[in-house]
Amino acid sequence: MDQTEAKNQIDALRTQLNHYNYHYYVLDNPTVSDFEYDQKMQELIRLEEQFPELRTEDSPSMRVGGEPLDAFEKVQHEIPMLSLGNAFSEDDLRDFDRRVREGLEIENVNYVCELKIDGLAVSLRYENGRFTQGATRGDGQTGEDITHNLKTIRSIPLRIDETDTIEVRGEAFMPQKSFIHLNEKKEENGEEPFANPRNAAAGSLRQLDPKIAAKRNLDIFLYAVGQWEAGTLSSHSERLKYLKELGFKTNPETKRCDGIEEVIDYVNSWVEKRPNLNYDIDGIVIKVDRLDYQEQLGYTAKSPRWAIAYKFPAEEVVTKLFDIELSVGRTGVVTPTALLEPVKVAGTTVQRASLHNEDLIQEKDIRIGDTVVIKKAGDIIPEVVRVLVDQRTEEQQPFRMPTECPSCGSELVRLEEEVALRCINPSCPAQLKEGLIHFVSRNAMNIDGLGEKVIQQLFEADYVHTISDLYRLEKDKLLELERMGEKSVDNLLRAIENSKENSLERLLFGLGIRYVGSKAARTLAEHFEEIDQLINASFDDFVAVDEIGEKMADSIVRYFSEQQVLELIDELQGLGLNMSYKGPKKSDQPEDSPFMNKTIVLTGKLEIYSRQDAKQQIEALGGKVTGSVSKKTDLLIAGADAGSKYDKAKQLDITIWDEQQLKEALESRG
């Protein structure tokens, strides 16, 4: 067989397999047996192996392939993926309608109602008809590149009949059948089952190995168009129809409604029908249909004014509260938790519910042994709503918070203007353990292999009590721990050693200073640069820094005034931990930098730099690194095997450098 004949056969097989996929996964109407499908797929794989030059990224055989990733790359959303405002009642919906009509100065508005799928919001980008990138919503501005996992969702087409660049948005989810099957497997393997389909879907799409995601049988409904420069359609309903024509899976229950009363009828009908679906929904999304009306209404800082999410009333169930457990958090707050007889709520089994604090327990007169009503607030956090007092007997026992810490026995205090009781003993074991878990976490020192279970083991073995003990761990002792082989111990010790080189902001966040989150830690580290300058700074010095308020400033000053803290810093410094800021500094950014105020995209395989290193160096010189090419891109840096981003940059006449040019530019500023 020559190459021309092979190409014709490969093209025919791809067309057939795409047709089969569409009918099976999008239309739910199989047109061929599994055996015949598998035969065609094996034939395609055989031909592509025989003629590797004919293999393409949009081939049906490429749904699951390649090696696991080391980490997810960040993706900048050209158009932010905003969250929606919420409505909880018919009055809220009518109030939304009133605001819309007043904003448009008209009497009646047509809306589109869509089921609010309880999954993970994602963005899919197509260039010249090919699926080139998929990303999570993230914080709305920046998500993570999960293209390799999204390719495993069979209802996502790898090629569409649309030559213009188009970015579409939808909700990836796990059908109930897949969720039940997955949890059965987990239980058979002695693993913790997923709490609900949403968590299972999110966990699946954040797997670094696409083969794991492929086994989870996820699905998707597309509900919006994001970036589409060539789009000429005038309404949201027309866009949904066009998405369906392109081969995307859209929700068949979507309805166009004439006015808010028709919307309310639609919402009420789904309150009853909700349990009959094969996937979870937690509400209804209502959008103004006409796109020019959407544009006229505009946006607030957080959400569009032309859309709202109606949230279903939380399901309430009755169960028995048989005990109240106390836990001590990282900051010393003692939190009571209700222990319940297991009960199903909103599709998941609940055995615990938050009681928040002593005042709430007294206010609701919650007693041990009570029959209580619980619900999931926002379908997420279980809470005790009320006590069924008429079912009380003489067996129920009133609950009183202790006066001493349940972990260390120190006296509990209630600080001024606080409801919570707090243990202020800095040596409290529970606080120390929670503090260690926080210190090694991803956004803090990011010590791979030191998860909660390992910290618990180390604590129980009496190997660690303070942060500095982590840096004194010995190989022989670690090998004595359960499930700690030589390879995992070597990896762990290497990760601990590598963490010593982290920039100051990671250490600051890891220390757990009250009110100092990861963003504030970065701001402080960038401003003061050295730990000693932070220690010696005054309250006035802190409040003079942008984004540092009085409450945070007071907390930082108090923290560094503690003798134990100063001794800990000295210990860590003596153990070799970096105490300086290593990130890009505004003062260091030369105005003549070739990257200053420019938007830069990295693509292909870089050989001189890691992608993260290149990104950091570019940002240190005033550049902004994003994940996708657009008209706003100033420069593309292309490594080996650069693909669609390179083609797009050429199309848009964007300056393109190779890695050697990047090296020369960076070294000239070094």
The CATH superfamily label for domain 316-398 reads Nucleic acid-binding proteins (2.40.50.140)
In this structure, of 58-72, 172-186, 260-274, the range with the lowest mean pLDDT score is 58-72
Question: What predicted TM-score, i.e. pTM, was given to this entire model?
Answer: 0.52
Identify the residue whose tokens are 């994003």.
626
Edge to edge, what strands does the sheet with 130-136 contain? 130-136, 120-127, 166-173, 219-225
pLDDT at 248 over 90: yes
Using DSSP's 3-state secondary structure scheme, residue 509 falls into: helix
**Fold of domain 588-668:** Rossmann fold (3.40.50)
- Hey, which residues does 319 pair with through a beta bridge? 372
Going by pLDDT thresholds of 50, 70 and 90, the confidence category of residue 647 is confident
**322-345 in b/e burial notation, b at 16+ Cβ within 10 A?**
eebebebbbbbbbebbbebeebeb
CB 7 within 8 A of CB 15: no
Going by pLDDT thresholds of 50, 70 and 90, the confidence category of residue 68 is low
Q: What is the helix (H) or strand (E) element at residue 131, kind and residue range?
A: strand 130-136
- Using one digit for the tens of pLDDT, what is the confidence trace for 74-95? 888 888 888 888 898 899 999 9
Which residues, 6+ apart, have CB-to-CB distance to 225 below 8 Å?
166, 167, 168, 169, 231, 239, 243
User: Mean pLDDT across the stretch 537-561?
Assistant: 89
How many Å apart are CA 156 and CA 151, to the nearest integer? Answer: 7
- In a 10 Å sphere around its CB, with 0-12 CB exposed, 13-18 middle and 19+ buried, how is residue 501 labelled? exposed
DSSP state of 547: T
- In a 10 Å sphere around its CB, with 0-12 CB exposed, 13-18 middle and 19+ buried, how is residue 102 labelled? exposed
Whole-number pLDDT of residue 346 = 66
pLDDT at 435 over 70: yes
- In a 10 Å sphere around its CB, with 0-12 CB exposed, 13-18 middle and 19+ buried, how is residue 24 labelled? middle
Domains of the chain, by residue range, sit at 3-62, 85-311, 316-398, 429-574, 588-668
Whole-number pLDDT of residue 398 = 92
Greater confidence (446 vs 62) lies with 446
Rounded to the nearest 10°, the torsion over CA 579, 583, 585, 588 is 100
The DSSP annotation for 395-435 comes to T-EE----SB-TTT-PBEE--TT--S-EE--TT-HHHHHHH
- Hey, which residues does 285 pair with through a beta bridge? 114, 309
pLDDT at 370 over 90: yes
Please provide the CATH number assigned to the domain covering 429-574. Answer: 1.10.150.20
How many Å apart are CA 363 and CA 384, to the nearest integer? Answer: 12
User: Mean pLDDT across the stretch 439-460?
Assistant: 88
β-strand pairing of 381-387 with 371-377: antiparallel
How many Å apart are CA 288 and CA 84, to the nearest integer? Answer: 13
Please give the share of the chain, as a percent, with pLDDT higher than 70: 93
DSSP state of 156: S
The CATH superfamily label for domain 85-311 reads DNA ligase/mRNA capping enzyme (3.30.470.30)
- Hey, which residues does 284 pair with through a beta bridge? 115, 310
- Using one digit for the tens of pLDDT, what is the confidence trace for 402-422? 899 998 988 888 876 677 888
List Cβ<8 Å contacts ≥24 apart for 464-467. Answer: 464/436, 465/427, 465/429, 465/432, 466/432, 466/568, 467/435, 467/436, 467/439, 467/510, 467/511, 467/568, 467/572
DSSP state of 301: S
Whole-number pLDDT of residue 530 = 94
pLDDT at 534 over 90: yes
Which residues, 6+ apart, have CB-to-CB distance to 43 below 8 Å?
13
Backbone φ/ψ region at 644: left (φ over 0), alpha (ψ -120 to 50), beta: alpha
Please give the share of the chain, as a percent, with pLDDT higher than 90: 38
CB 334 within 8 A of CB 405: yes
Which residues, 6+ apart, have CB-to-CB distance to 606 below 8 Å?
614, 637, 639, 659
In this structure, of 257-261, 456-460, 611-615, the range with the lowest mean pLDDT score is 611-615
Q: Do domains 429-574 and 588-668 have the same CATH topology?
A: no
Catalytic residue among 7, 40, 74, 116: 116
- Using one digit for the tens of pLDDT, what is the confidence trace for 491-518? 999 999 999 999 999 999 999 888 888 8
The CATH superfamily label for domain 3-62 reads Helix hairpin bin (1.10.287.610)
AA letter at 560:
F
How many Å apart are CA 387 and CA 364, to the nearest integer? Answer: 7
Q: Would you call 116 a catalytic residue per the annotation? A: yes
CB 336 within 8 A of CB 411: no
Q: What is the helix (H) or strand (E) element at residue 567, kind and residue range?
A: helix 563-574
Q: What's the distance, Cα to Cα, between the start and end of the chain in Å?
A: 56
How many Å apart are CA 451 and CA 444, to the nearest integer? Answer: 13
